[in-house]
Amino acid sequence: MIGHEDLTVRTLGPCRIDSPLADRLAARETTQHSVVEDDRILFDDTISMAGVRGVPVEQLPSLEPGGPRQRIYFDPAKTRVGIVTCGGLCPGLNDVIRGLVLELCRHYGVRRIVGFRNGYRGFIPHYGEDVVDLSPEVVQHIDDEGGTILGTSRGMQDPEEIVDALERLAINILFVIGGDGSIRGAMEVVRVIGERGLKIAVVGVPKTIDNDIPYIDQSFGFQTAMSEATKSIHAASVEARSAPGGVGLVKLMGRHSGFIACYSTLAKDDADYVLIPEVPFALHGERGFLEHLRRRVEDRGHAVVVVAEGAGQEHIEEHEPGRDASGNVRLGDIGRLLRRLITEHLDDAKVENNVRYFDPSYAIRSVPANPYDSAYCLRLAHAAVHAAMAGRTEVIVARRRRRFVHIPMALAVSRRNHVDPLGDLWMSVLEATGQPVRFE
């Protein structure tokens, strides 16, 4: 159960400086489309009235709204800002960097912004990474490109050395653009900052192409990834329909959550099967996946299978997991296993087959953001700047229930967002594909 203490946002101190945006805020008021800084956003808008009757509204769990404040903590003319991108690539990273720099410079008047190269290692002297001076001129057109102009890496570095670098450069605000591992690293940086009695704000812009960060509507880059994934599903469908016994097999991103597999399937509606980490499946037996696929190929002459990369890991016996630099368990290749097993099963059943395997994951991660994600990234960047200039720290900015809000980092990494096997998204997938509720 989420309580008030879980939603409390840390601040560095009272805001005593008039914001450069104050004049723009004078006429704002609470409406259906707008909230002001003193408003609160209900954490859960599905609570039944029977469950809250007699409870004052102010006692219901609620979030602090994002957006500009009338008064801010940092003096823009004396503020130095750092930006770092961490983890795997994701469409929209450059858009966020650009949005941060333009908002800081043009609207707040911040004069010095530096980018740290190649993730957290950019803070560590041992690696010899230079910082990058960021200005409106430098970032003006970077949103046309995929990837990140700052580079990225996986794995946490020593938070003591990171804070040493922040002190050497007199950084007042650090923006961390990254996923759950990067956010946990940012929390360690905040811990060291606190132990040293420093006044440095650390604000996160959550990044995960898999859409597995909890308590937010959607992560940036997801819409682009889903759109790009549909192209591979369509190609697999064309290949499958163009050969006797054609089977198109597409492996998509989704280590723990099958959102990309689900939504791209619904968008294209060419798939016969979707396999995701949240729904275990049996491979063998009369009611297993392979036998059902055989019948589908014999009946219709072709089939298309979409599998998330984290699905079916229990079937990969020869794989020794280990962990990557970010601490993530290394996954076995479910796509290659399915390609082999499908071919063997159809061969054993004397069913002519032509299996075509697609793995577009890295191609999808590296593309520029589409217009929807570009706009979303810009709004996230604005919200992050407003939060940081107002002295908020150890917080991420996100959109929840269509409102931009501040979420404490500890809550953002407390669990993962998953496709609910009993929810309406998975039901839509079952309806679109016609596959059984379970393979067992």
State whether residue 118 is helix, strand or coil: coil
Token reading at 62: 């609620």
Rounded Cα distance, 194 and 168, in Å: 17
Whether residue 182 is annotated as binding a ligand: the answer is: yes
Confirm whether residue 255 is marked as ligand binding.
Answer: yes
364 assigned ligand-binding residue: yes
**Is 210 labelled as part of a ligand binding site?**
yes
Residue from 95, 210, 270, 272 carrying the catalytic annotation: 210
How do strand 173-178 and strand 41-42 relate by DSSP bridges? unpaired
209 annotated as a binding-site residue:
yes
Q: 82: annotated binding-site residue?
A: no
Using CA atoms, how far apart are residues 224 and 267, in angstroms rounded to an integer?
Answer: 12
Residue 362 annotated as part of some ligand binding site: yes
Judge whether 41 is annotated as a binding position.
no
Residue 341 to residues 206, 294, 296: CA-CA distances in angstroms?
Answer: 37, 11, 16
From the list 395, 387, 13, 9, the residue with the least C-alpha distance to 199 is 13
Neighbours of 15 (CB within 10 A): 18
Residue 367: CB atoms within 10 Å: 19
309 is in an annotated binding site: yes
Compute CA distances 157 → 81, 114, 413, whole Å.
20, 19, 18
Q: Is 179 annotated as a binding residue?
A: yes
**Rounded Cα distance, 97 and 86, in Å:** 12
180 is in an annotated binding site: yes
Q: What CA–CA distance (Å, rounded) separates 405 from 61?
A: 13
Burial 62-93 (b: 16+ CB within 10 A, else e): bbbbbbbbbebbbebeebbbbbbbbbbbbbbb
Q: Is 75 a catalytic residue?
A: no
Residue 50 among known ligand-binding residues: no
409 in a labelled binding site: no
376 is in an annotated binding site: no
Tell me the angle at which helices 371-389 and 222-241 cross, rounded to the nearest 10 degrees: 160
Give the DSSP H or E segment for 347. Answer: helix 334-348
| Known binding residues for ATP | 88, 154-155, 179-182
Catalytic residues: 210
| Known binding residues for Mg(2+) | 180
| Known binding residues | 88, 154-155, 179-182, 208-210, 253-255, 309, 362-365
